[in-house]
Amino acid sequence: MSLPAGGPRPPDRTSPDNPRGTGKAGAGRAYLERKRGLHQAREQRHDRALQTAEDVDAALSRLATAARRLRPHSQEMTGAAARRQILNAAYLLPHDRAEELAEAVETWRARTGAQIELSGPWVPYSFVGEV
């Protein structure tokens, strides 16, 4: 293609972001920035979930005579493929404090929006010492 002398020049479509001159300067960079942003958001949600679990465990442990953290269940075991269990804990308390624990769990659910499951009472095997 030729241009008349002194006429307008076509825009330079080459740049460090776009060395081939396709006219989509920065498309690759924008994609990577979106992916990085998604990764950072996922990490922030996970960090908030861990902090919430720590806060819930601390509050419930204060109500209990003893508390134990157990290994979190896998997604296959919980049947919840879309979410991961962050905290699995057992709290030993007298029967007359069970309602207080249930109320504390409900307060934490409302305050944080966390999915907190409460079950029991169970046999206190988690609190039996090694033989």
pLDDT, tens only, 34-72: 999 999 999 999 999 999 999 999 999 999 999 999 998
pLDDT of residue 20: 52
Pick from 83, 51, 80, 57: which is nearest to 69 by CA?
A: 57
DSSP for 18-83, written as a single string: -TT--S-TTHHHHHHHHHHHHHHHHHHHHHHHHHHHHHHHHHHHHHSSEEEEEPPPPHHHHT-TT-
Pick from 34, 56, 28: which is nearest to 114 by CA?
A: 56
The tokens describing 72, both together, are: 């979190």
pLDDT at residue 24 tops 80: no
pLDDT of residue 8: 43
pLDDT of residue 52: 94
Cα separation of 53 and 74, whole Å? Answer: 17
pLDDT at residue 125 tops 50: yes
Cα separation of 15 and 107, whole Å? Answer: 56
Cα separation of 63 and 84, whole Å? Answer: 26
